[in-house]
Each structure stands twice: as structure tokens, then as C-alpha cells.
Amino acid sequence: MKANCTPRKSAQCMALLASFVLIFAARSNAQSATPDISGFWELRYWSRNIPKATLTPAAANADRQAQAEKEFHAIRWCNHVGVPFMMDDGSPIDVRQSKNEIAITSQSNSPVRHIYMDGRQHPSIDTFDPTTLGNSIGRWSGDTLVVDTMGFNDAGLNAIPGGGVRGENSHLIEQYKLSGEGRKLQVTFTWIDDKMFTKPHTYAFMYEKLPSSTTAREWLCDPMDGARARFLIDPPQPPK
Amino acid sequence: MNRISIELSIARVVLSLGSVLLAAGTLGAQSPHQDFSGFWEPKYTGGSGAFSDVFGKVDRAPLVPGLPPMQRPSGEHPAYGAKDPVDGSACRVLAFPFFMTSSPPFDILQRDDEILIVSEREGGSRHIYMDGRSHPSDVEHTSNGHSIGHWEGDTLVIDTVGFLGFAGVPGGGRRGPNTHLVEQYKIVDSGEHLTVRFSWEDPAIYTKPHSYTLNYYKMPKDTYAFEDPCDSGNAKEYQSVNGVSVIGATSVYRQDTPPAKSPPAPAAPVK
């Protein structure tokens, strides 16, 4: 269609052009923007959808007493708890999203999770020292953040919700998606480990957002705290 | 002003707004500030653990005369406040500013509303609130304190209060619950170096602000964080704290009481 912009109609023509620019700019911004999942997020009593994992025979027959003692040691001596425990430790997680990286901090005794968003691949498993958090890389698939983690060890609190434990053979894929006008964050966890599960084990958490004025707290785990040690070690006593 | 002129003016404003939005979208909404993001490390040319490269450049702290030696138990001194579990022994948290002088790098995540400085060492991460908030009047005292930041040109200025008591500061200084720290972060040498000017203020500890500058080197973009595990329940080097065994179920109880000269008898088993 040929524009018919005479001097008399110049204002209307400029307004038309401006509208096109405004619409194009808005669409351009909308397309380039990714959701911002930053904030403090906490789980509620209804926030866990955890089916029972389908374990391999070897995993199903694992020594439960040894696992219980291992977990007690990790708690008693303030070991790093690691993934997946830090994502559900009874206190809010703090997610901070920047251009090249997303950090997830918890108030339990865990280092910060680094999710690298700069397009890198996992480091070679031959040179990477396994950790309780593993090595995480992320990408956006539409409005969903997909995080791929490998390079785990079995240290800390390694029990997986629904059954099984984290170890060096574990591969975790997480999907983060906002809902409820940004007030809810659903994280779907899928663990893949052919020594642990007969099929990938998937469960989901739904976090609720806390106010933006929330302040990070510092949680010091002191293995020399006598009262803490006493509480953990001594069996609770009934009233005399 | 006639109707056409008014329409023309409105159209110009809309056109300008659209252009600005378009530019912002095209540039990825880049922050106007310096970008400190990435891993930074102090370099020790003397080898691992050779802290002379750092501490050799720090002037002695102008301490108030009469302060007790830092290593001596000093929980009652008003400058220190109560002792806190941040002395680094037995996997306790390593108090700030230790990780800023420790050899592992730290990672900076930068947002307009907050900057995170993440350590690999025990001690967690520093949250620098950039959203204009003030320090809370009832600040919760922590190892890293409560930090707020703002920009002065290309310099990031961080103001921190609310430290837990009793921790060392380079130059023979120390920090207490009332200590105030001002840091100035600046990128130099085309982004290859980060300089941080520290200035510690506390009339109970220093006769004047204790200031020094440390330099950090940018690490490659593919750097990833290590994990620094610490298990005081296993490691032999942590089996003794202040000469007191901490292995076992009962020995830790004595942390609430003065150190005994000889190890106490094990607690009787519960019947």
C-alpha cells in the first residue's frame, strides 16, 4: 500500500510510523527477554509431588543402616549437604540470575550452586573432581530454564526424594518455570542413573516467592557446638 | 499551538520512546555500569600459601593501644563481642575477610538490584544489596555482615556493618560487632584486574581508618567453581581444637565449659 503523506497529513503519518516503531520495539524486547527467576523461594506443605522411585534390585537391597549412619555423620559434622537436599532444607532458597550465570544459595551447609549460562559444556569427567553439587550448565527452552548437572559424588546428604541416592553415576535434569504471575516457581527434577533406577525418576517442587525485601541469612553450622551435638546424640527422654 | 502541531509533538515523543525501547532491546538491556562478573583470584607468585604477596603490601593496622593480642581468648572485650564460630578450626566458617585474601578465586554475579560475591571457602556468599535499601536498624550479625552498595562513577562502593565479633583483618587488624567496612571496587587494565580498596573503621579497635588495596586477576571465562569439602569428623588435623579432643560423642560437650586439663571420662551409656 502506497503511503499518501502530504504535508497536511504529516502529523498523522509520523504518528503511524511511531506506532509501528513502538510495536516493533515492544515485540523485540518481549522476544529477547527471558524470565527472571531471581528471588527468595520457599516450599509449603503442599509443595512436593514425589512419586516413588523405581529402583534397580541392587539399589533396593542397599544397606539402609549404613546409609543412615552416613547421613548422621554428615549432619553431626556439618558436611556439605549438596544436591538435592539443599533444594528442600526447610528454609528458603535464594536464586540470583545474571547474564552468564545463575546462583542458587541455601541456608543449609552447602556451597552455592553455580549454573553456567554462557553456552559452555561440562568439563571432562576425566579432570573434574566430583562434588556434592556437581557441575551445572543451563539454557532457556522458551520460558523454561533447563539445567543439566553431572559430576556428582555421594558425599553429604545424598538421599533422593522418592528413593535412591546421588552418586558418581547420577545425571540430573531440572526444569524451572514460573507461573502464577511470577509468584510461583515449579522445578521438575529428573534423575537418570541406570545403576539406581530402572527408568528416570521424576518429581516436582513448587516454590512460593517471598517479598523482595527479604534478606539473606547466614547459617553457621558449628560441629563444636555442644548443645547441638548433645541434641543430636542423646536419645530424647520421656517425662519423669 | 494548533491541532496539527500537537499531534506532531505527540508523534515525535512516541517515536523517540520507541527508538529508545528498540535500542534497549537490541543491546540486550545492558547495564550502564562496569561489569564485575566472573571469577577473580589473588595471585601468589611465592607459591601456594605464600601470603606475603598480599600481606606484604598492607600497612600495619593503627590499633588502639592496649588491645589484647588477637589470638588470646577475648570474648569479654567490648571490641570483639562474643566469640563466634568463625575461627576456621574444625571446619568452622572462615570469617570475612579471609576469603578475599585466600588463594581460591571468588565469583561475582552482578545484577542491577544485587551483587553476589561467592567464595569457594567455608563462609558462604556476600549479598550486596543495590536496590537502595539501608542497613536494618536491628541488623543480624553474621560472618559476612550486611552489605549495601552504590555506584560512584565507575567505582562500586560497598558499605558493610553487622559483623560477628573477633576475626582477623590483614595488617594485624581485626573486626568486631561494631566495625564498619567501606570497600571500593574498580576494574583496571581493560578488565584484566580488579582493585579493591578496603577501609575499616571502629573507634574501639583503630585510632584511624585502616586502609589498604588488594589486586585480583580475572580468570578465564570457562573457569568453574570448585567445592572445598571439610569433614571435622574424619580429618586427623581437626581431632584437636585448643588441645581438646573433639572426636567422639561426649568430648564436644566441654565446649560449653572451660577446657579441662585432662580428658574427661566418657559419659555413661544410657540405660
ipTM: 0.80
pLDDT at A9: 60
Which helix (DSSP H) or strand (DSSP E) does residue A65 occupy?
helix A64-76
- Say how many CB pairs under 8 Å bridge A and B: 180
The closest alpha carbon to B156, from B119, B117, B189, belongs to B117
Q: Which residue, A104, A30, A196, A197, is CA-closest to B225?
A: A104
Is residue A81 within 8 A of residue A132, CB to CB? The reply is yes
Q: What is the DSSP string of A115-161?
A: EE-SSPPPPPTTTPPPBSS-EEEEEEETTEEEEEEE-B-S-SS-BPT
Please name which of B172, B169, B180, B170 lies closest in space to residue B203, comparing C-alpha atoms.
B180
CA-wise closest residue to A187 among A90, A110, A95, A120: A95
Strands (E), chain B: 38-41, 106-110, 114-119, 125-129, 146-152, 155-161, 167-169, 173-175, 180-188, 193-201, 210-218, 240-241, 244-245
Closest residue of A to B254, CA-based? Answer: A226
User: Which residues in chain A touch residue B11, judged by CB atoms under 8 angstroms apart?
Assistant: 11, 14-15, 17-18
* CB < 8 Å to B270, chain A: 234-235
Nearest chain A residue to B221 by CA: give it.
A118
**Cis, bond preceding B259 (omega within 30 deg of 0):** no
Residue A12: pLDDT band with limits 50, 70, 90? low
**Looking at CA atoms only, how far is residue A95 from chain B in angstroms?**
11
* Mean pLDDT (whole number) for A124-136: 93
Residue A30 dihedral angles phi and psi, to the nearest 5°:
-65, -40
- For residue A21, the distance in angstroms to the closest alpha carbon of chain B comes to 5
φ, ψ at B122 (rounded to 5°)? -55, 130
- Which of A196, A136, A130 lies closest to A162 in space, CA to CA? A196
pLDDT in tens, chain B (271 residues): 565 565 556 556 555 554 544 444 433 344 678 999 999 998 766 555 555 666 667 889 999 998 876 654 433 333 333 344 445 556 666 678 888 887 788 999 999 999 999 988 766 789 999 999 999 999 988 889 999 999 999 999 999 999 987 678 888 888 888 999 999 999 998 889 999 999 999 999 999 999 999 999 999 999 998 887 777 666 544 444 444 444 433 333 333 333 333 444 444 444 4
Distances (CA, A) of B60 to B26, B66, B210: 50, 16, 8
Who's near A70: CB < 8 A, 6+ residues apart?
Answer: none
Residue in B15, B91, B125 nearest the CB of A105: B125
pLDDT at position A18 is 55
Q: Note whether B256 contacts A111, CB cutoff 8 Å.
A: no
* CB contacts, 8 Å: A14 with chain B: 8, 11-12, 15
CB contact (8 A) between residue B11 and residue A120: no
Which pLDDT value is given to residue A151?
97
Q: Do B106 and B97 contact (CB within 8 A), yes or no?
A: no
Report which of B198, B149, B204, B178 is spatially closest to residue B33, judged by C-alpha positions. Answer: B149
Of B120, B131, B255, the CB nearest to A225: B255
Which residues in chain A are contacts of B239 at CB distance < 8 A? none
**pLDDT value at A15 more than 70:** no
Q: Which residues of B touch A21 (CB under 8 A)?
A: 14-15, 18-19, 22
Does the beta-carbon distance from A227 to B140 stay under 8 Å?
Answer: no
CB atoms within 10 A of CB A187: 24
Q: What whole-number distance in Å separates Cα of residue B12 and Cα of residue A10?
A: 11
State the Cα–Cα distance between residues B160 and B174, nearest whole angstrom.
15
**What distances in angstroms separate CA A160 from CA A83, A130, A157, A169, B35, one per listed residue?**
9, 17, 9, 14, 38
**Among A22, A80, A213, whose Cβ lies nearest the Cβ of B229?**
A80
Which grid cell is A67? 546409609
Residue A131: closest C-alpha in chain B? B227
- Chain A, nearest residue to B250 by Cα: A230
Inspect the interface and report whether the beta carbons of B107 and A114 lie closer than 8 Å. yes
Q: What is d(CA B242, CA B90) in angstroms, rounded to the nearest whole number? A: 10
Give the model confidence (pLDDT) of B52-72 as tens digits: 666 667 889 999 998 876 654
| Contact of A113 with A82, CB cutoff 8 Å | no
Say which residue the cell 573434574 belongs to: A128
Model confidence pLDDT, tens digit, residues A26-76: 554 444 589 999 999 999 999 999 999 999 999 999 999 999 999 998 998
Residue among A15, A38, A233 whose CB faces B14 most closely: A15
Beta bridge pairs of residue A205 = A48, A187
- Say yes or no for a CB contact (<8 Å) between B225 and A234: no
* Minimal-distance CA residue of chain A relative to B13: A18
C-beta atoms of A229 and B37 within 8 A: no
Name which residue leads in pLDDT, B70 or A224.
Answer: A224
Q: How many CA atoms are closer than 13 Å to the CA of A215, on its beta-carbon side?
A: 19
- pLDDT value, residue A31: 44
Contacts of B241 in chain A (CB under 8 A): 224
Category of A144 on φ-ψ map: left (φ > 0), alpha (ψ -120 to 50) or beta = beta
Residue of B8, B39, B91 to mutate for A, most A C-beta atoms under 10 A: B91
Asked whether the beta carbons of residue A224 and residue B92 sit closer than 8 angstroms, the reply is yes
Strand pairing of B193-201 and B180-188? antiparallel
Give the best residue of B148, B224, B239, B247 to mutate against chain A (max A CB count within 10 A): B224
Residues B52 and A219: their CA atoms lie apart, in Å, by 32
pLDDT classification of A23: cutoffs 50, 70, 90: low
Q: What is the mean pLDDT of chain B?
A: 73
* Preferred mutation among B252, B270, B271 to probe A, highest tally of A CBs within 10 A: B252
